[in-house]
Amino acid sequence: MKKLVFTCTAMFVFMASFGQTVDELKAEQALKKDSVAAIQGRVDALQGQIDAFPGWKKGMFGTIGANLSGSKNWFSQGTPNNSSGNIGVTLNGFANLDRDKFFWRNSGNINLQWIKLDNKDIDTDDDGFNGTTDVFNITSLYGFKLSDKFAISALGEYRTSFINNFNDPGYLDLGVGATWTPVTDMVVVIHPLNYNFVFAEDDAAYESSTGAKIVVDYTRQVGAVNFKTNFSTFQSYKSGDLSNWTWINNFGYTLWKGIGVGFEFGLRGNRQEAFANALAQPGSAADLAIGDVDSPTQSYWLFGLNYSL
């Protein structure tokens, strides 16, 4: 009996000691977690100081969208034997230098898409990929700082197509004025003195002119999210028919090791391009003027896989 009591007592003492040890270990673990959180907070603060330090900041992200399909003897459609596909690629990059007295911001955007529909029952149709959406923009902005938020600036912006009609048309804006940077990731450019050079093989529909250039750009990366919106407009002093605007938006979300999903859409208004398209139509009137042509809003979009660098 004494042995039984001694054994039970020993087991009770052991279990009590073990429970106390577990509680102590949990308490020590909580302290260490607090220490790790404090260290991570200091690391994040240092990274914020590094990111805010004046110097070159570079980045790039892009989206790839693809859809390939085919059919054989699928009689419910008009082309029962076919192969089709749609491929799109977009790239956005920037390289910005920020110093105490000046800044130099450079960015580029390219969006290329191809589509094909090969009817296997027709030998004369085109069985290759043909370009559809075709966007190529590069911008360079230099500013001499008057304060933290205002600068005297000079801008160069070039826009054209890339696949089929490179520099036909092409637009080159060169101008000077002021730049406002209300927050770190936002740039507002107002250049009242700007010349819009327009290049085209057939210049019947295109004309260069002097005007005002306005650009609003907001680029931000927050964790796994990349976001960029850019609005650029030229307002001609000679005629509103020579004005144009373009608004491009990009969104990317990283899911795993730089890979995620991305979406880009763009809008544009350009009466000269609408006029050129009208002149190219069969049977267009010989006396057709640019003011006689409607200028609908142009648009494109791409959704697919995204990769960030």
Structure tokens at 230: 């850019």
CATH of the domain at 244: 2.40.160
Residue 56 lies in a domain: no
Same-domain pairing of 226 and 119: yes
Please check whether residues 42 and 75 belong to one and the same domain. Answer: no
> What CA–CA distance (Å, rounded) separates 189 from 182?
11
Same domain, yes or no: 183 and 83: yes
pLDDT of residue 32: 64
The model's pLDDT over 188-238, given as tens digits with 9 standing for 90+, comes to 999 999 999 999 887 778 999 999 999 999 988 788 888 889 999 999 999
For residue 75, the enclosing domain spans 61-308
Mean pLDDT across the chain: 82
* Same-domain pairing of 195 and 278: yes
Q: Are residues 188 and 285 in the same domain?
A: yes
Q: Regarding predicted confidence, which is higher, 159 or 54?
A: 159
Which carries the bigger pLDDT value, residue 173 or residue 162? 173
Please state the domain count of the chain: 2
pLDDT at 152: 97
Whether residue 74 has pLDDT greater than 80: no
